[in-house]
Structure formats: structure tokens, C-alpha cells
């Protein structure tokens, strides 16, 4: 078996609140993401999902533990080493409105990282990326405000893809979208993985989303991973009581099933 693309070992991250007060957001978290794999990270609000994503991106300082990418220790990568990683590790955030500069056309947004990387074929690559994310070629002349939420999220995905990364950290990338648009964007993530072999570390609080997209999933609870495994198993027949509660708390369309689940959830909560 080949070594995973990303390995996180026993990672601890503290946020400094006051001079002598720290908040331990990650308490020794370990996981791995293989090439071409999608690993989901689920858990309630505040459990540390985004913190793990930020640590991988170099946006949160690591107290202890190790992050390895393609065999290289990147735990404390800064400056030039971090900039070099930017072409390999990209990110898509939840908010398709806040994450795009409204004063730049889509063409400029997409070409920007290419200019920084010294690419001469920016225009051809931009056209190719728009095609990848199923946006019309004339989008290059338009501004982000002229697009719908789902289209903007596809622009953000194109921007992440433009440097041909090997890993994309996706932090709740479909949570702000309505269900139909969510389905379209999730299909896009699946297609892009098939076409490019990119890996995803996919943060979500939605077990249904994770089941659809991910090969494996880890469940976080208060800064720790309480359960990991095959996505289908964890999201349909979880071992850990916390995951069971998370699963039962997720809404379902059928009112009868919803009532049954609600009863089961209450039983679990009282247990
Ligand atoms: N910059 C920060 N400074 C201090 N504390 C922070 C900071 N960012 C996050 N935290 C705290 O760290 C913990 C983990 O936060 P994190 O954002 O990783 O959770 P999350 O699982 O992504 O939650 P959500 O589902 O709401 O996005 C929380 O208790 C949060 O309040
Ligand atoms: Mg978060």
C-alpha cells in the first residue's frame, strides 16, 4: 500500500484566549487522506473541524503532533515553504459570497494565482477550469455579484482547482446552498475527483452530505475523534453513542421516519 497523501498524527492545537488562558481545540487528533480519496470530518459546532482544516492549511499554530504531506513534514511550514504548498493544498470555504473579491471579474479571480505562480498560459487554464466547473466561457468578463450562490461556489471551486492541487480542504462548502444546488455542487465535487484524482478533506456537519461524497469519515467531539471508518457504515450504523445522536438529529424527509427517529433520539439522550 502506498503512503497516504496527508497524515495528521496526534495533533494538538491551542487557541490563546488571554495571557494565561488557552483553549485546547484539538486534543490529539490523528487521521489520513489517501491520493484520490475523500475523507469526511463531521461533528457538532465547536468540535474542532475547522481548526483541523486550518492547521493543515497553516492557518492555526500547532502545539504538538505532526502533519505530513506527500512525505514532507509541514507541521510548522511558514514563508516560502508554505507558499510552495499553496499549489498542492487549496481550500473552499462555506461562504460563496465572502470568499470572492467583488471588485474582480471571474477571469481575474481565476487568473490571479496563475500569475503569482508565473504561468503564461493563464487564459487557457482559466477557460479549462470554467469548463470543469460547468460555467459558460463568457463568465470571465462578469463579476461574482452577477452569479447565484451555487454558481459562486463553483467559481470558488474553480479558483481552488486552478493550481492543480493534490488536496482541497473543503470547509462546509455546500452548507449555505439550498438542497437542489447542494446536490449539483456535490456532483461536481465527485466528477472533479474522478477527472483529476484530487483528494478532499471534507468538513461538514451533515452526515447525508458526507455519506454521498466520502470514502471514509471521522467523527469529532470536543476536540477528539470518537469514531472513524468507512463512510457508509459510520453514517448508517455508527458504533459511538455520540455519532448515533448526530445521525438521529439529522432531518429526514419522511415524517413517520422522522417521528421514529425523534423518539429514538430522545431515548438515547436520556440513556
Ligand atoms: N481564532 C480562535 N480563537 C479562539 N478560539 C477559537 C478560535 N477559532 C475557534 N475557536 C474555538 O475552538 C473550538 C473549535 O472551533 P472550530 O471552529 O474548529 O469548530 P467547528 O467544529 O468548525 O465548528 P462549526 O461547525 O461551528 O464550524 C471552539 O470552541 C471555538 O470556540
Ligand atoms: Mg467550522
pLDDT at 197: 94
Q: Which atom of ligand 1 is nearest to the CA of 47?
A: 21
- Which residue, by CA, sits nearest to atom 25 of ligand 1? 45
Instruction: With a cut of 90, say whether residue 269 has pLDDT above it.
Output: no
pLDDT per position as a tens digit, 192-235: 999 999 999 999 988 889 999 999 999 999 999 999 999 999 98
Q: Which residues contact 130 (CB under 8 A, 6 or more apart)?
A: 106, 110, 136, 137, 139, 140, 158
- Closest listed ligand to the CA of 225: 1
Identify the residue whose C-alpha is closest to ligand 1 atom 22. Answer: 50
The domain spans of the chain are 240-271
Cα–ligand 2 centroid distance for 26 (angstroms): 13
- The preferred substitution site among 11, 17, 51, 207 for testing ligand 1, maximizing ligand atoms within 8 Å of CB, is 51
Residue 70, phi then psi, degrees to nearest 5? 50, 45
Query: Hey, which of 49, 222, 225 would you mutate to test ligand 1's pocket, going by the most ligand atoms within 8 Å of its Cβ?
Result: 49
What would the pLDDT profile of 148-169 be if each residue is shown by its tens digit?
Answer: 989 999 999 999 998 889 999 9
pLDDT tens digit sequence for 165-192: 999 999 999 988 888 889 999 999 999 9
In this structure, which residue's CA is closest to atom 30 in ligand 1?
A: 46
Nearest CA, atom 17, ligand 1: 50
pTM of the predicted model, to two decimals? Answer: 0.90
C-alpha cell of residue 260: 421514529
Render the chain in DSSP notation, one character per residue.
-PPPSEEEEEEEEEEE-SSS-EEEEEEEEEEEE-TT-EEEEEESTTSSHHHHHHHHHT-S--SEEEEEETTEE-TT--HHHHHHHTTTEEEE-S-TTTTS-TTS-HHHHHHHHHHHTT-S-HHHHHHHHHHHTT--GGGGGS-GGGS-HHHHHHHHHHHHHTT--SEEEEESTTTTS-HHHHHHHHHHHHHHHHHH--EEEEE-S-HHHHHHH-SEEEEEETTEEEEEEEHHHHHHS-SSHHHHHHHHHS--S-HHHHHHHHHHHHHHHH-
Q: Is 51 in the pocket of ligand 1 (CB under 6 A)?
A: yes
Q: Ligand 2 (ion): which residues have CB within 5 A?
A: 50
Amino acid at each position: 500500500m502506498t503512503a497516504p497523501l496527508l497524515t495528521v498524527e496526534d495533533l494538538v492545537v491551542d487557541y490563546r484566549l488571554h495571557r494565561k488562558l488557552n483553549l485546547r481545540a484539538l486534543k490529539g487528533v490523528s487521521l489520513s487522506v489517501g491520493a484520490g480519496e475523500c475523507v469526511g470530518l463531521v461533528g457538532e459546532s465547536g468540535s474542532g473541524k475547522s481548526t483541523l482544516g486550518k492547521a493543515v492549511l497553516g492557518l492555526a499554530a500547532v502545539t504538538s503532533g505532526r502533519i505530513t504531506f506527500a512525505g514532507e513534514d509541514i507541521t510548522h511550514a511558514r514563508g516560502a515553504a508554505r507558499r510552495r504548498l499553496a499549489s498542492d493544498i487549496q481550500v473552499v470555504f462555506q461562504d460563496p459570497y465572502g470568499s470572492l473579491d467583488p471588485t474582480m471579474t471571474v477571469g481575474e479571480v481565476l487568473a490571479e494565482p496563475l500569475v503569482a505562480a508565473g504561468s503564461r498560459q493563464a487564459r487557457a487554464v482559466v477557460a479549462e477550469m470554467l469548463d470543469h466547473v460547468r460555467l459558460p466561457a463568457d463568465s470571465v468578463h462578469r463579476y461574482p455579484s452577477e452569479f447565484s450562490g451555487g454558481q459562486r461556489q463553483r467559481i470558488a471551486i474553480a479558483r481552488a482547482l486552478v493550481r492543480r492541487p493534490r488536496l482541497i480542504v473543503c470547509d462546509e462548502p455546500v452548507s449555505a446552498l439550498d438542497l437542489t444546488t447542494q446536490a449539483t455542487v456535490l456532483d461536481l465535487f465527485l466528477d472533479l475527483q474522478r477527472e483529476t484524482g484530487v483528494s478532499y478533506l471534507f468538513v461538514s456537519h451533515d452526515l447525508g452530505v458526507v455519506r454521498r461524497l466520502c470514502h471514509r469519515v471521522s467523527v469529532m467531539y470536543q476536540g477528539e475523534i470518537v469514531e472513524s471508518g468507512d463512510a457508509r457504515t459510520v453514517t448508517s450504523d455508527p458504533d459511538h453513542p455520540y455519532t448515533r445522536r448526530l445521525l438521529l438529529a439529522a432531518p429526514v424527509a419522511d415524517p413517520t421516519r422522522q417521528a421514529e427517529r425523534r423518539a429514538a433520539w430522545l431515548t438515547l439522550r436520556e440513556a
